[in-house]
Amino acid sequence: MTNLVTLKIVDGDFKKGFRVILKIGIDPNQNNLMAREIDGWLPPAPQMKQLCDSWLLSYRAQGRIKVHRKLIAPPEQITNYSVINSAQDLQEAINNWLNSTDRNFQRFRDQVLKSLSSHDQIRFIIQTNNIKLWQLPWHLWDVLSDCDIEVNFSPSEFPPPSPPIQKYINKVRILAILGDDTGINIQKDLALLQEELPNAEIFPLISPQKKQLSYELWEKQWDILFFAGHSFTQRKNCQGRFYINQDESITIEELKYGLANAIKNGLKLAIFNSCDGLGLAAELVSLPISTTLVMRERV
């Protein structure tokens, strides 16, 4: 049995605190409804945004990083030491925040601890529309790390997954999109898929044009969409873009109707093995797809 623990962040900010709802129950994928909901409050943490921004700046500026596939030098020397320091400061701040002795929060935290102490399998979801909160390394909270629980994210509201369709093909069908490979070896991704999933039908789509990709989404049935290459999230509007070839980048919005059709025809999982993918995830969750996997940061 899988227990589902959802922390829904309703509103608020780091200066004033956040109103939250803790949902504890059985995984709805197992045809059970949530058991109960508990209202609560996350206390203010006015330094959290600055600490998170400082860590991201240090991490992204370390060495030479790729922004929009172009190598740039950091404006100032960032050392491993400063990256480690900023990460440790952020980890300490997260634990101070989520282990707060605030009386109003303590009762709520006790319920979280109780729900996570089960010996059953746990799915833990942070539910919020605030992408800044998606960036926080929640997994560093000692309560979660001690229980070896992975953190998942979802928006506050999302469409229900499309109902399963009757399939007459036993093999899983994977559309493997290999986009721009500047500076990386994405053929390894394809080789790994073929090695680890020998019974799946894998269809490589190498450096496609947008028209070709759209055709595959509209005209064929897929269980999994896999992308390997380069992507980034635009800072102004938090929209994600991914390079399907060396010259062309597109957004989820541009493929929205094709993806919706693919989901209607059985697409259940989208995997983007590409950097800085939160913008992609934010748009994908507006579609009724069951699960999306992205990389939150650059590597």
DSSP state of 36: E
* Parallel/antiparallel/unpaired status of strands 70-72 and 201-206: unpaired
Tokens coding 213: 């990709």
What was the pLDDT predicted at 260? Answer: 95
Burial 68-88 (b: 16+ CB within 10 A, else e): ebeeeeeeeebeeebbeebbe
Q: Which of 68-82, 231-245, 274-288 has the lowest mean pLDDT?
A: 68-82
What was the pLDDT predicted at 184? Answer: 92
Mean pLDDT of the chain: 84
* Parallel/antiparallel/unpaired status of strands 269-273 and 224-228: parallel
Count the alpha carbons within 13 Å of 159 in the hemisphere toward its beta carbon: 13
Q: What is the pLDDT of residues 21-78, one digit of tens each?
A: 988 876 655 555 556 788 888 999 999 999 998 888 887 776 444 444 544 444 444 4
What was the pLDDT predicted at 72? Answer: 43
**CATH code given to domain 173-294:** 3.40.50
What was the pLDDT predicted at 73? Answer: 40
User: Taking residues 119-146, what's their average pLDDT?
Assistant: 86
What was the pLDDT predicted at 27? Answer: 60
User: Taking residues 124-136, what's their average pLDDT?
Assistant: 89
CB distance 141 to 189 below 8 Å: no
What was the pLDDT predicted at 38? Answer: 85
94 pLDDT above the threshold of 60: yes
145 pLDDT above the threshold of 70: yes
What was the pLDDT predicted at 17? Answer: 93
Q: What is the pLDDT of residues 183-238, one digit of tens each?
A: 999 999 999 999 999 999 999 999 999 999 999 999 999 999 999 999 998 878 88
2-47+81-154 against 173-294: fold identical: no
What was the pLDDT predicted at 66? Answer: 46
What was the pLDDT predicted at 67? Answer: 45
* Parallel/antiparallel/unpaired status of strands 240-243 and 17-26: unpaired
CB distance 201 to 174 below 8 Å: yes
What was the pLDDT predicted at 294? Answer: 93
Q: What is the pLDDT of residues 158-168, one digit of tens each?
A: 666 666 655 55
**CATH code given to domain 2-47+81-154:** 3.30.420
Domain positions in the chain are: 2-47+81-154, 173-294
